Protein backbone atom coordinates (compact mmCIF):
# COMPACT_ATOMS: atom_id res chain seq x y z
CA UNK A 1 0.00 0.00 0.00
CA UNK A 2 2.78 2.39 1.01
CA UNK A 3 4.77 1.65 -2.15
CA UNK A 4 1.64 1.94 -4.27
CA UNK A 5 0.84 5.38 -2.84
CA UNK A 6 4.43 6.50 -3.31
CA UNK A 7 4.33 5.29 -6.91
CA UNK A 8 1.25 7.33 -7.85
CA UNK A 9 1.87 10.51 -9.80
CA UNK A 10 1.22 13.81 -8.04
CA UNK A 11 -1.38 14.60 -10.70
CA UNK A 12 -3.38 11.42 -9.93
CA UNK A 13 -3.45 12.20 -6.20
CA UNK A 14 -4.54 15.79 -6.90
CA UNK A 15 -7.35 14.70 -9.23
CA UNK A 16 -8.67 12.01 -6.88
CA UNK A 17 -8.78 14.31 -3.84
CA UNK A 18 -10.15 17.25 -5.84
CA UNK A 19 -13.08 15.10 -6.95
CA UNK A 20 -13.61 13.80 -3.41
CA UNK A 21 -13.45 17.26 -1.82
CA UNK A 22 -16.03 18.58 -4.30
CA UNK A 23 -18.64 16.40 -2.56
CA UNK A 24 -18.66 18.14 0.88
CA UNK A 25 -18.17 21.55 -0.74
CA UNK A 26 -21.14 20.93 -3.06
CA UNK A 27 -23.28 19.64 -0.19
CA UNK A 28 -22.75 22.93 1.66
CA UNK A 29 -22.73 25.36 -1.25
CA UNK A 30 -25.08 24.14 -3.99
CA UNK A 31 -28.62 25.38 -3.15
CA UNK A 32 -30.56 22.51 -4.80
CA UNK A 33 -28.52 20.02 -2.77
CA UNK A 34 -28.81 21.60 0.66
CA UNK A 35 -32.46 22.51 0.12
CA UNK A 36 -33.11 18.90 -0.87
CA UNK A 37 -31.23 17.68 2.23
CA UNK A 38 -33.42 19.82 4.45
CA UNK A 39 -36.68 19.19 2.69
CA UNK A 40 -37.59 15.94 4.49
CA UNK A 41 -40.55 16.42 6.77
CA UNK A 42 -39.99 16.14 10.50
CA UNK A 43 -41.38 12.62 10.36
CA UNK A 44 -38.35 11.34 8.42
CA UNK A 45 -36.08 10.18 11.22
CA UNK A 46 -33.01 7.93 11.05
CA UNK A 47 -31.39 6.65 14.26
CA UNK A 48 -33.31 9.21 16.27
CA UNK A 49 -32.35 12.26 14.21
CA UNK A 50 -34.21 14.06 11.40
CA UNK A 51 -32.71 13.57 7.93
CA UNK A 52 -31.92 17.30 7.70
CA UNK A 53 -29.59 16.96 10.71
CA UNK A 54 -27.89 13.87 9.27
CA UNK A 55 -27.24 15.80 6.07
CA UNK A 56 -25.02 18.30 7.87
CA UNK A 57 -23.49 15.73 10.23
CA UNK A 58 -22.42 13.62 7.25
CA UNK A 59 -21.01 16.69 5.51
CA UNK A 60 -18.87 17.43 8.60
CA UNK A 61 -17.70 13.81 8.90
CA UNK A 62 -16.76 13.75 5.21
CA UNK A 63 -14.63 16.86 5.58
CA UNK A 64 -12.78 15.41 8.57
CA UNK A 65 -12.09 12.01 7.03
CA UNK A 66 -11.02 13.45 3.66
CA UNK A 67 -8.63 15.88 5.32
CA UNK A 68 -7.22 13.12 7.49
CA UNK A 69 -6.83 10.83 4.46
CA UNK A 70 -5.12 13.53 2.39
CA UNK A 71 -2.70 14.24 5.23
CA UNK A 72 -1.96 10.53 5.51
CA UNK A 73 -1.32 10.13 1.79
CA UNK A 74 0.92 13.20 1.64
CA UNK A 75 2.86 12.01 4.67
CA UNK A 76 3.48 8.60 3.08
CA UNK A 77 4.62 10.37 -0.10
CA UNK A 78 6.99 12.52 2.07
CA UNK A 79 5.38 15.71 0.77
CA UNK A 80 5.07 17.16 4.26
CA UNK A 81 8.75 16.78 5.18
CA UNK A 82 11.08 19.76 5.38
CA UNK A 83 14.07 17.60 4.46
CA UNK A 84 14.85 14.93 1.87
CA UNK A 85 16.98 11.85 2.33
CA UNK A 86 19.18 12.17 -0.74
CA UNK A 87 22.01 14.57 -1.46
CA UNK A 88 20.70 17.80 -2.99
CA UNK A 89 21.21 18.19 -6.72
CA UNK A 90 22.88 21.33 -7.95
CA UNK A 91 21.20 23.93 -10.08
CA UNK A 92 18.13 26.07 -9.79
CA UNK A 93 18.18 28.47 -6.88
Partner 1 sequence: MWQPFVVLGLFYGAVVALLYITQQRDRVDFEEYAVGGRRYGPAYIGMSYVQSWFPGAMFVAFVALGVNIGTLMYYCLAYSLLGLTAMYFMANRAWRWGQRHQLRSQPHLLELRYDSSGVKLVASVVGIAAIMPWVILGLQAMAILFEVSSNGAWSLTTCLLLGMAVIVVRQYWTVRMGMRGLIMSDMLQGIVAYLVAALVCVIILADKNSPAPYGNLAHLPEKLTSLPGMEGTGYGPLYVFSLIFMGVIGALAWPMSFQRIYTASGVKSVKSGTVYAIGIAGVFYGFLTIFTLAAATWPKAIEAPNLTWFSALQEYGGVWLLGLGVVMVLGASMGHVDGSIQVAGLQIANDLVHHFKPLKDHQLTIVAKGSMVVYMAIAAILAYVTIEMARLQLLAQMSYYLVIQISVPLFLGLFTKFGNRWGAMMGMIAGSVVAIVLTVEWIDDIPALGGLTAGMVGLIVNFVTYAVVSLLTGQSEEDKKRVDELFLEALPPVKRQALGLDPVVGPVTTMQAEPAVVSEGEQP
Residue 7 or 48: the one with the smaller Cβ distance to partner 1 is 48
Distance between CA 47 and CA 54 in Å, rounded? 9
Shortest Å, Cβ 39 to partner 1 = 7
Distance between CA 76 and CA 72 in Å, rounded? 6
Burial zone of 58 (CB within 10 Å; 0-12 exposed, 13-18 middle, 19+ buried)? middle
Binding site for partner 1 (CB under 8 A): 10, 21, 24-25, 27-31, 34-35, 38-42, 45, 48-50, 52-53, 56-57, 59-61, 63-64, 67-68, 70-71, 74-75, 77-84, 86, 88-93
Residue 1 or 85: the one with the smaller Cβ distance to partner 1 is 85
Shortest Å, Cβ 8 to partner 1 = 14
List % helix, strand, coil for the chain (3-state, nearest 5).
65, 5, 30
Shortest Å, Cβ 31 to partner 1 = 4
Amino acid sequence: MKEWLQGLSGRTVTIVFTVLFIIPFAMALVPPLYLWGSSAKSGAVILGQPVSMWYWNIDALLIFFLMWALYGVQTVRKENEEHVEHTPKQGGQ
